[in-house]
Amino acid sequence: MLDTLELGPKTGAAATIIWMHGLGASKHDFEPIVPLLGLPDVRFVFPQAPHRAVTMNNGYQMPAWYDIRTLEPGPNREDAVTIREAEAALRELVVRERERGVADHRIVLAGFSQGGAMALHLGLRHDQPLAGVMVLSAYLVLPEALSAEASAANAATPMLFCHGTHDDVVPIARGRSAYEAVKEGRKADFFPFAGAHQVTGPEIATIRTWLHERITDATLGTSTP
């Protein structure tokens, strides 16, 4: 089981948000945002990515959900084996929430950059309806496998995509491409924000509104838009 930071109610949570950090970061990265979201009845679970060698960084060991081989476009940009490992580890967290009394349809998957890519990857494949998927400054991994692996259970799951217009780490075109690939048949929104590879104040306000809508729907037992 992944190491996690947990904030909010230990029992009786109205919903759970599992929020993944970006490459080289930590489970504490988005801790300061929690008080700004106004969700006291929600459990926030921030997992810590394992240390692994990242090829594009000369094999340097750092917290990473998966290995990135190169920044050049192509089917081998990200490593499929380590993506699958991360997928399995994060799915365990969803199962644990279910065992703690939070049904899948009351769980939001969220993440930034690499973490956002994993939230989208797992959300598209999870075999039970989720409350929503939040993709911040991120992109689609293993796009060639999506049509064969996408779960009908989450075909209509609401998704929020946010991206900085001046992002020089993950170009906004990659975020928009991910949105275009999954928007059909679901309530999906793409919001560009002035900024770089970061989460800005206006973006936090949008996230807050979207999460309140998703949590309300989840607690009312509606898992589709």
Residue 225 lies in a domain: no
Residues 68, 79 contacting (CB under 8 angstroms): yes
Spatial separation of the C-alpha atoms in residues 132 and 33, rounded to whole Å: 18
Given the residues 26, 151, 197, 212, the one annotated as active site: 197
Residue 224 belongs to some domain of the structure: no
Catalytic residue among 104, 105, 113, 137: 113
Whole domain around residue 176: which residue ranges?
4-219
Annotated active-site residue 79? The verdict is no
Has residue 82 been placed in a domain? yes
3-class secondary-structure state, position 105: helix
Q: Which helix (H) or strand (E) holds 132?
A: strand 132-136
Statement: residue 220 has pLDDT above 80:
no
Is 197 among the residues known to form the active site? Answer: yes
pLDDT digits (tens, 9 = 90+) for 79-95: 999 999 999 999 999 99
Whole-angstrom CA distances from 68 to 102, 137, 219, 220 are 33, 16, 37, 40
CATH of the domain at 101: 3.40.50.1820
113 has catalytic annotation: yes
Residue 77 has φ and ψ, to the nearest 5°, of -65, -45
Question: Is 45 contained in some domain?
Answer: yes
Judged against a pLDDT cut of 80, whether residue 222 lies above it is answered with no
In a domain, 46, yes or no: yes
CB half-sphere exposure, 2, CA atoms < 13 A: 31
Q: Which of 29, 79, 167, 217 is catalytic?
A: 167
- Residue 60 inside a domain? The answer is yes
Share of the chain above pLDDT 70, in %: 98
Instruction: With respect to residue 167, please indicate whether it lies within any of the assigned structural domains.
Output: yes
Per-residue confidence band for 225, with pLDDT thresholds at 50, 70 and 90: very low
The number of distinct structural domains making up the chain is 1
Residue 67 domain flag: yes
- DSSP three-state, residue 17: strand
Q: What percent of the chain shows pLDDT beyond 90? A: 92
